[in-house]
Structure 1
Amino acid sequence: MEHNLALYRRYRPESFAEVIGQDHVTEPLRAALAGNRVNHAYLFSGPRGCGKTTSARILARTLNCEKAPVADPCGECQSCRDLARGGPGSLDVIEIDAASHGGVDDARDLRERAFFAPVSSRYKVYIIDEAHMVSSQGFNALLKLVEEPPEHLKFIFATTEPEKVIPTIRSRTHHYPFRLIPPRVLSDYLGEICQREGVPIEPAALPLVVRAGAGSARDSLSVLDQLLGGAGAAGLTYDLAAGLLGYTPDTLLDEVVDAFAAGDGSTVFSVVDKVIETGQDPRRFTEDLLRRLRDLVIVAAVPDAPATGLIDVPQDQAERLVAQAARFGKADLVRSADCVAAGLTEMRGATTPRLLLELICARVLLPGADDSLDGLGARLDRLERRVGVEGVLSGAPAPAAPPPAPVVEVRAPASLETPEDAAPTATGFEAPASAAAPQPTQEAPTEPSVVEPVETPAAEAPSPPVSSSGGLGLVDARRVWPDVLEKVKEMRRFTWILLSQNAQVIGLDGGVLTVGFKNAGAKDSFIGGGSEEILRQAAIDVIGVDWKVEAIVDPSADPGAGTAPVVTKAATTPVEPAPVEPAPVTEAPAAEAPAVVSSPPAWVDTEETEDAADAVAEPPAPEPVPVQRAAPETIASARSNIAPTRSGEAPTKVADTRDDDVHPDDPDVDDSGVDGAELLARELGATVVEEIPHD
C-alpha cells in the first residue's frame, strides 16, 4: 500500500536529521529541543515545498516524545509511532488549513477548545498551515491566546507570505525562515531516491528534474515520480526527461549558440524554423537559450565554474560550455544575453511568438546595428577574435604561393672566391648576369666555374595552417604585408627602405612573425636600429595583432618576385666601397655599379662586391681607394646626366646603402630634395669625380 503513495509522501522526513537544505533552521531547533528551551509559538516561513509543514510535524513529534527533551524523536514511543510517516495521527496534534478556516468564527472555536488539556501527550500542538490566509479579525481573536497560552499549548504557524501575518502575532513568535534547496544538494537527494527505487537514471537527466522542481523538494519529487512512472527498461533517460518536461534539447541549443559565435544567420534561422515545426514553445526555447547564455557568461568569467559547482551540469556538457565560451568575447556574451532577456519580456500579447524570436536572433547576430556601449564592446570582441579579418584583407581568396625556384650558386676559382659570409650584392638588389661581374683590366683566369645547386629553407611553401595569433596564417600575413609597409613608411623611412627592398615574410607561427633578409648586413641593420619595434607597432595599428618579430638571413627572400633569386658569386677581386670624400687619384680599373632602372652614369666609381652589403649595418672607416683618372669625354657624359636631375627630375632609385655621414637609425632621413650627386654619395657611397686638368 505504501508503495502506491506519491514519492513526496513516501520519503517525507521523520526527523530534523533527514531534512535537507535547511541546516540553518534545523540545527537551532535541535539545540533548543535538547536544552528544553522551546517557545510557546513558532512561525515557519519560506517558499512552497521546502519543508515548513514537515518541520512543524517533526517539532510536534519531538515535543511529545516520551524521552523528551531530545533533539530527535525516538521513534519507539506511542506518540512517535502515531505521528510517524503513515501513522494514524494524534488527537493532541491538530493541523488546521487556514485557507478554509481563517475566519473569526474558526478562531473563536479554536480558542474555546485550546484550554482543554491534551488527551495522552505532554502538549497540545496546533499547526496552522497557510497562516497568511487568516483574516485580520481571526488573528485578533487569537491574539490573547497566542500571547498568554496555557502551559500545555503550543502554536506553529506555517506560511509562504510572512509579511501578511499581522505584526502583533509575528512579534510573539520565534521566526524561522526556510529557503529553497540548493540544486547540488537536491540533485544528490534525487539520485539517492532513484537508487532506492531501483531505476537507473542518466546524469544529464537529473539537472532537468532539479530545474523543473525550482528548488522545492516536494515539486522535484512530484516531477521525478512522473518520470519514473514513464521510464522503460533503459531507465530515466535525458530524451525522456526533456520530452516530458518540454525543455529544449541540448543539441538545438548547441547548434544555435555555435551559429551565434560564427555569425551564421542561415543556421540560426533554420534552428528557429525547426523549433516551430516540431511544435516546441518559442517562449520555452527563449528561456532555455537565455539560461545557456547565462551559463556561458559564468564560464567565460570563471573557467572552472562546472568543477567548483557554480554550474550544475554533467562533465560532457561542461566541456562543451567551456569550448563555446571561448568562441565569444565577454562583452559579446553579455550583450547577447541582454538581447534575449529583453526579447523574452516582450513575448506576450497577440504578437506572433515566432516573429519575436526571429527578431531576437537578428539583434544577437548584428552587433554593428547596436550603437550602445554593449554593441561597441561586442564589436571590439569580434575584432580581437579576428572574426572580421575580411575587413582588413582584400577579401579575395588568397592565391597559392608559387614554389620558389632553386637557388644556384656559381663558385669562382679558389684564388678569386670571395668570403663565404659575404652577401651576393652590395646594394641588396639582384644583379643581372651581365652586370654581376665587373670587367677586369687584367687577364681573367681560364679556369671554369663550378655550378652547384643550393637547397634553401623556403624550398617548400605549402599552405600553412592558421596560427593562433588573431586567426591569421602565413598567406594572410603576406596579403596584408603591403599595408603594413605603408604604415612603416609613415613611421620611419629607414625601416621601410630596409623591409621593402631587402626583406619578405617567410613564416608566422604562434604569434611570431619571421622576416627573412637577403643578406646579413640588412638583417643586422634592422635589428641594431630598433626597427623590430617599428614593425611590431605598425602591425598593431593596421590589423590589430601584436606579433613578435624575428629576423633571419634567407637568401631566397625577395620582396620583388614570387620565386627565389639566383645567388651569384662573381669572380672578382674584393674592393672596399669608396668613401664620400675624394681620395688620391691612382690608376685602377673602372667598374660599373648596377642600378634599379638604368645603368648609372660613367662618373660613378663603385664596385659591386659581396663585402659591400655589410656596410648597411656597420659602415667601415673611410680608406683611400684607387680611383681611375677620368677621361674628358667621361666627365662630359657625367655632366649631361646630372643636369636633368638638378633641373627637377626625380633621381634614379637605388638601394639603401648609406654613407658614413648618415646614421642608419636616423628617422628623419628623407630622400626628397637632393640632387643626383648627393643621392649617389649618400645611398651608394660613390664618389663624383670632378674634372681634372690634364696638365
Structure 2
Amino acid sequence: MESPLALYRRYRPETFAEVIGQDHVTEPLRAALANNRVNHAYLFSGPRGCGKTTSARILARALNCEQAPIADPCGECESCRDLARGGPGSIDVIEIDAASHGGVDDARDLREKAFFAPVKSRYKVYIIDEAHMVTTQGFNALLKLVEEPPPHLRFIFATTEPDKVLATIRSRTHHYPFRLIPPRLLSSYLSELCEKERVRIDPAALPLVVRAGGGSARDTLSVLDQLLGGAGPEGVTYDLATGLLGYTPDTLLDDVVDAFAAGDGAAVFGVVDKVIETGQDPRRFTEDLLRRLRDLVIVAAVPDAPATGLIDVSEDQGERLVAQAARFGSAELSRAADIAATGLTEMRGATAPRLLLELLCARILLPGADHATDGVLARLDRLEKRLTIAGGAPTPTVAAPSQPAQDRPVPPPARPAAPDPAASRPEPEPRPEPRPEPASAVEPVEAPAPDPAPEPVAAPVAAPVAAPEPEPVAEAPDAAPAPSGGLTLVDVRRLWPDIVDATKSKRRLAWMHLTQNCQVVAVDGQVLTLGFSNVGARDSFVSAGCDDVLHRAAVDVVGADWKIETIVDPGAQAEGTPTVTRAAVPERQPEPEPAPEPAPEPAPAAPSSDASAAAREAIQQTRSPDEKPDAGPDWASVDAEAHPDDLDAEHQGISSAELLQRELGAQMIEEIRHQ
C-alpha cells in the first residue's frame, strides 16, 4: 500500500474559492476572469507558501476552461481535469523554475517556443517561479516578448522578492501581492483538516502548529503532517507538540513569570537551571519568554484580549494570562519585554547563551539598578502593587487641632535654628517652656567614672518612667478604615528594607536604631511589633519619637497604617542591612591634669536638649581616642541631620565651657589659640 501524499499536496486548492487568507487577490482575479478582462502578464509576490504558485495554476485552469470566461474552473472539461490536483498536466501550461533556468540562453529558448500556438488549449501559459532569480540578461531577452506577446500567450511570474524583478518587466505586469495567513483563520482551517483526517488534536496544540508554520499554509501543513504521523491513539497532544517542535512548556513560562512578579530570584534561576538541565535551547526559551511578555503587555492593555481573539491562546491559558498581567504594572511589563528583546538579539552567535540568559533575568529582577525612565516607572509600578497588597491607598488622616500636620514635629516657635558654623552666632533669645520629656532624659548627667569595660550605650538609662503618650491623630470622618491582615510577616520582612530606607530621609536617628538595634517580631492586623536588643535602645527609640517616624515611613512606602509596639528581645538583630558590631572599648587611663578648683553645687535639672548634649559629651569621653567611626553611631552625622528637639549648646546661646561646668563640674584652666 502506497503512502498518502503530503497534506499540502492532498489539500491544494483547485479554485479561488478554496484559497484562504488571500481575498484581496482572489476576488479581483475572479472578477477579471468573469468579465473577460485578463491581462497578458501577471506578477504574484509574497512570502513562501502563501499560495502564489497555486493561484497561478488556478488562473491557468480558468483561462483554458471550455466554459470560459468563468470566475472558477468548472473541473469537468479536459483541460480542467488535466490541471486538477493529481492530474497529468497540460502541454500548453509550462512551469519554469527560474532558480535553475534564469540565464540568457533559457530566455532565448523560451522566446523561440513561445511563438508556437497552443496544442489543444486556448492559451499557452508560462508560469515562471522564483522570477527574481532570472538574470538581468535573461530579463532583457524576455523584455520584448513580455511587452508585446502574441495573442495566445500569457505570462505569470511568481516571486518572493518583487524588487529584484527588472523594473521594465514589472511595469508591464499586473502586480498582486500575497500575504501571510492570519493565525485565527489558519487555526480553524487546521481543525477542519484534522476532522477530515479523523485525528483528534488538542486545542492547546493548535497555536503551536500555527506558530511553527509562521503564517505559511504550506509550512503549517507540513508541521501538522509531522504531528499527525507521530500521534498515538489520543491524537495530537500538547506534550507531543511541545516535544517535537521544541517549544518551552507553558508550565515553565508560568513559573518564571510568577517568580518575576514576586521578585523571587531563587525561583527564576531555578527555572533557568531546569531549562539547561532538560537540554532546551536558551535562545528558544528567551524567544518564548519574550512572546509571553508580549501577550501580557497586550492583556494588561486589553483585559478581554484572549476572549476576543486578539491573542491566539486556549481558554484556560487566557485566564492565566489575565491573572499574571494583574500582578505587574504596564511599565514593568514593557521594561521586562525590552530587556528580553535586547537579550535575544545579543544571544545570536553568542558562545555562552546561558550566561546571557541569567544576566537578562537579573536585569528584569532589579529595576532599582536601572536609573533610566523605564527603571523608575518599574519601581513606581512595584510601589503601587505594594499599596494594593496593603489594601489600597493609605488611609487619610488629619492632625489634632493643637498641632499642624507636617513631616516633622514642630519645634518651639521662639527657638532659633542652628546657625551655620561659618556665620556669626546670633544673640541668644529667651527660650520657651520645654516640653515634658522622659525621666531618663531630664536627670542631670554626671561625669562617668572610668570603668574596666564600659558598655557602649546610646544614653544613660534611669529608672523606667512612663513616657508621655503622643498626641492622638484623629481620622477624617470620610476616611475608610484600613483593612486588617493585609500583609503577612513574610511580606513585611520582604518590604522592610524599603521602609527602613524611607526613615533615613525623615530622621537619621530613627534609621540608625532600625538598622542596628531591632528587628520585626510580629504583624497582627494593624499592629507592628519590633524587638530591641536591650532596654536602653528601646527606651531611646520611643522617647525620641522614632516610632512616629517609622509609622509615617510605613504609610508612605506600603500604605500600612500600623500601630508601632516595642518589646525587649535580647536576640534581636537588624533586618535589611548588615548587623553593625561594636568593638570593645579598651580601658582608658586618666591623664594627669592640674587639680581643679572645688566643683560648684550641681545646677538644677536642665531641659531635655541640654541633657542630650551632655550625654553625648559623656559618651565621647568614654570612647578611646583612636576608636574607629564604625564602632558606634556617627554622632557628627546624627547632629547634622538631627531631630529639631536634639539641641546642643549652640542652640541655647551658652558656651561649651559653661556647659561643661554646669553639667560635669569641670573648669577650663586655659585656652590657647594658635595664630
- Aligned partner letter, 1:284: R
2:144 is the counterpart of 1:124: no
- Aligned partner letter, 1:488: A
Q: How does 1:184-263 map to 2 (within 5 A)?
A: 184-263=184-263
In structure 1, the residue corresponding to 2:386 is in which secondary structure?
coil
| 1:179 alignment partner in structure 2 | 179
Structure 1 residue 541: deviation in Å? 9.9
Structure 1 residue 468: deviation in Å? 3.4
- Aligned partner letter, 2:188: D
| 1:543 alignment partner in structure 2 | 556
Contact 1:502 1:559 in 2 (8 A): no
Counterpart CA distance in 2 for 1:375 and 1:42 is 53
Counterpart CA distance in 1 for 2:278 and 2:476 is 63
Counterpart CA distance in 2 for 1:507 and 1:348 is 54
Contact 2:14 2:84 in 1 (8 A): yes
| 1:588 alignment partner in structure 2 | none
Counterpart CA distance in 2 for 1:502 and 1:192 is 64
In structure 2, the residue corresponding to 1:44 is in which secondary structure?
strand
Contact 1:511 1:546 in 2 (8 A): no
Contact 2:61 2:80 in 1 (8 A): yes
Contact 1:43 1:176 in 2 (8 A): yes
In structure 1, the residue corresponding to 2:107 is in which secondary structure?
helix
Taking structure 2 as the reference length, the TM-score comes to 0.62
- Aligned partner letter, 1:73: P
Q: How does 1:427-506 map to 2 (within 5 A)?
A: 468-469=391-392, 488=405, 490=407, 497-499=471-473
2:300 is the counterpart of 1:300: yes
Counterpart CA distance in 2 for 1:501 and 1:63 is 86
- Aligned partner letter, 1:368: G
Contact 1:45 1:159 in 2 (8 A): yes
- Aligned partner letter, 1:231: A
Structure 1 residue 47: deviation in Å? 0.2
Counterpart CA distance in 2 for 1:295 and 1:372 is 24
1:305/1:2 CA distance change after superposition, 3 Å? farther
| 2:141 alignment partner in structure 1 | 141
Contact 2:114 2:153 in 1 (8 A): yes
Contact 2:383 2:558 in 1 (8 A): no
Contact 1:347 1:353 in 2 (8 A): yes
Q: How does 1:62-461 map to 2 (within 5 A)?
A: 62-386=62-386
Contact 1:487 1:542 in 2 (8 A): no
Counterpart CA distance in 2 for 1:487 and 1:356 is 54
Structure 1 residue 310: deviation in Å? 1.4
Structure 2: tracts of 5 or more residues without a match: 411-469, 487-524, 527-547, 568-603, 610-644, 646-675
1:26/1:10 CA distance change after superposition, 3 Å? same
Counterpart CA distance in 2 for 1:149 and 1:502 is 90
1:5/1:511 CA distance change after superposition, 3 Å? same
- Aligned partner letter, 2:556: I
1:57/1:560 CA distance change after superposition, 3 Å? closer
Structure 1 residue 3: deviation in Å? 6.2
**CA offsets per residue over residues 206-227 of structure 1, 9 Å max, x none?**
0000000000000000000000
| 1:624 alignment partner in structure 2 | none
| 2:618 alignment partner in structure 1 | none
Q: Percent identity?
A: 74
2:47 is the counterpart of 1:47: yes
**Would you say how many aligned residue pairs link Structure 1 and Structure 2?**
454
In structure 2, the residue corresponding to 1:43 is in which secondary structure?
strand
Structure 1 residue 486: deviation in Å? 11
**CA offsets per residue over residues 142-166 of structure 1, 9 Å max, x none?**
0000000011100000000000001
1:648/1:3 CA distance change after superposition, 3 Å? closer
In structure 2, the residue corresponding to 1:374 is in which secondary structure?
helix
1:103/1:233 CA distance change after superposition, 3 Å? same
Counterpart CA distance in 2 for 1:313 and 1:189 is 16
In structure 1, the residue corresponding to 2:157 is in which secondary structure?
strand
- Aligned partner letter, 1:386: R
1:70/1:232 CA distance change after superposition, 3 Å? same
Structure 1 residue 349: deviation in Å? 3.4
Taking structure 1 as the reference length, the TM-score comes to 0.60
Counterpart CA distance in 2 for 1:296 and 1:123 is 54
Structure 1 residue 136: deviation in Å? 0.4
- Aligned partner letter, 2:230: G
Structure 1 residue 497: deviation in Å? 3.8
Contact 2:398 2:476 in 1 (8 A): no
| 2:418 alignment partner in structure 1 | none
1:383/1:68 CA distance change after superposition, 3 Å? same
Contact 1:214 1:220 in 2 (8 A): yes
Contact 1:539 1:546 in 2 (8 A): no
Structure 1 residue 251: deviation in Å? 0.2
In structure 1, the residue corresponding to 2:20 is in which secondary structure?
coil
In structure 2, the residue corresponding to 1:386 is in which secondary structure?
helix
Structure 1 residue 467: deviation in Å? 5.5
Counterpart CA distance in 1 for 2:10 and 2:2 is 7
Structure 1 residue 509: deviation in Å? 3.0
Q: How does 1:591-602 map to 2 (within 5 A)?
A: none
Counterpart CA distance in 2 for 1:487 and 1:284 is 60
Contact 1:469 1:511 in 2 (8 A): no
**CA offsets per residue over residues 91-139 of structure 1, 9 Å max, x none?**
1100000001000000000000001111111110000000000000000
Structure 1 residue 498: deviation in Å? 4.3
Counterpart CA distance in 1 for 2:261 and 2:60 is 57
Contact 2:253 2:289 in 1 (8 A): yes
Moved more, 171-180 or 378-387: 378-387
Structure 1: tracts of 5 or more residues without a match: 390-465, 516-534, 550-557, 563-643, 651-670, 672-695
| 1:596 alignment partner in structure 2 | none
Contact 2:398 2:473 in 1 (8 A): no
Contact 2:276 2:282 in 1 (8 A): yes
Structure 1 residue 481: deviation in Å? 12
1:29/1:267 CA distance change after superposition, 3 Å? same
Contact 2:122 2:152 in 1 (8 A): yes
2:482 is the counterpart of 1:508: yes
Counterpart CA distance in 1 for 2:175 and 2:169 is 11
**CA offsets per residue over residues 584-623 of structure 1, 9 Å max, x none?**
xxxxxxxxxxxxxxxxxxxxxxxxxxxxxxxxxxxxxxxx
- Aligned partner letter, 1:468: G
| 2:500 alignment partner in structure 1 | none
Larger Rg: 1
In structure 2, the residue corresponding to 1:157 is in which secondary structure?
strand
Counterpart CA distance in 2 for 1:321 and 1:84 is 46
Please provide the CA RMSD for this pair. Answer: 3.8
**CA offsets per residue over residues 21-76 of structure 1, 9 Å max, x none?**
00000001001111111000000000000000000000000010111111111111
Contact 1:187 1:207 in 2 (8 A): yes
Structure 1 residue 4: deviation in Å? 0.9
In structure 1, the residue corresponding to 2:272 is in which secondary structure?
helix
In structure 2, the residue corresponding to 1:125 is in which secondary structure?
strand
In structure 1, the residue corresponding to 2:473 is in which secondary structure?
helix
In structure 2, the residue corresponding to 1:4 is in which secondary structure?
coil
Counterpart CA distance in 1 for 2:97 and 2:159 is 11
- Aligned partner letter, 1:155: F
Structure 1 residue 561: deviation in Å? 12
Contact 2:297 2:333 in 1 (8 A): yes
Counterpart CA distance in 2 for 1:99 and 1:502 is 81
| 1:635 alignment partner in structure 2 | none
**CA offsets per residue over residues 474-502 of structure 1, 9 Å max, x none?**
xxx99x999xx999354898xx8442899
In structure 2, the residue corresponding to 1:108 is in which secondary structure?
helix
| 2:28 alignment partner in structure 1 | 28
Counterpart CA distance in 2 for 1:241 and 1:491 is 63
